[in-house]
Amino acid sequence: GKVMVDHPVLNHILTLQDKLSVCDKIDQPLDDQLDALLNDQDVSEDDDDEEHDDGLGAFFHTDDVASPPPITTSTKSNAAAQKKRKHAEDEAPPALTVDEAAAEAFYNSVVESKNAHKSLKGEFYTHEPKIVEPEFDSDDDDDKKRGATYQMIKNKGLKAHKSKINRNPRVKKRLQYKKALVRRKGQVREVRTGEAARYGGEMTGIKSNITRSRKL
């Protein structure tokens, strides 16, 4: 089937694979010793019971098991040689299948990406900021004044806070004049012209409780 390189269980499977390989290295010496003991025991049993073996003992397991012979120097040397051969075989890298190779490649890529991210993060927090010094042309005249920058022009120092109206004197005076006209209407009556012509009605309305006529 399709190789699932991004499966969430992949890291767990790779961990188990590493532990199994460690266990195999531990079990190899014991397996060699057990094989040597069993081989010696089988040879001794074959020599002793070759004439009297009728096959029933192997079927029912009722025969007395002979005690294992003591391990001799030749047996120890054979076991040591087998152990060295097995150790050399274990050191050789086992052949990987397609799935295992893809999984190992994915695992290595994940580890490399994490290490790269850690290194970049460490460099970001440990590097010193670079100070860029302004470059001056040696050909410029020393007597020539340097032009003011935007930051110099806007640097006004401490300045009192002003409202929006006080920041613009022209608008401030216009609003003051408008308010003065409104106040004057309540203090001074406006001059009315054109009353000698035809009657146009009362300008301020008719009120029954006010008498404006004069007695002669």
Q: Look up residue 110 and give its two tokens.
A: 């994940």
In the DSSP assignment, the letter for residue 149 is P
Q: Assess if residue 65 is contained within a domain.
A: no
Count the Cβ atoms, other than its own, within 10 Å of residue 101.
12
Q: Assess if residue 5 is contained within a domain.
A: yes
DSSP 3-state of 139: coil
Domain span at 24: 1-37
Residue 177's alpha-carbon distances to 17, 72, 154, 174, 184, in angstroms, are 92, 126, 33, 5, 11
Q: Assess if residue 29 is contained within a domain.
A: yes
Is pTM beyond 0.85? Reply is: no
Q: Assess if residue 210 is contained within a domain.
A: no
The total number of structural domains in the chain stands at: 1
Q: Assess if residue 21 is contained within a domain.
A: yes
Q: Which residues, including other chains, have CB under 8 Å from residue 62's CB and lie 6 or more apart?
A: 56
CA–CA gap between residue 108 and residue 110 (Å, rounded):
5
Q: Assess if residue 131 is contained within a domain.
A: no
Q: Assess if residue 95 is contained within a domain.
A: no
Inter-axis angle of helices 10-48 and 98-126, nearest 10: 130
pLDDT per residue of the chain (216 residues) written in tens, 0 to 9: 455 666 667 777 888 888 888 888 777 777 777 888 888 866 566 555 555 566 666 666 654 555 555 555 566 667 777 777 776 666 655 566 777 888 888 898 889 888 888 888 887 777 666 666 666 555 556 678 888 888 888 887 788 889 999 999 999 999 999 999 999 998 998 887 766 677 777 777 788 888 878 888
Q: Assess if residue 8 is contained within a domain.
A: yes
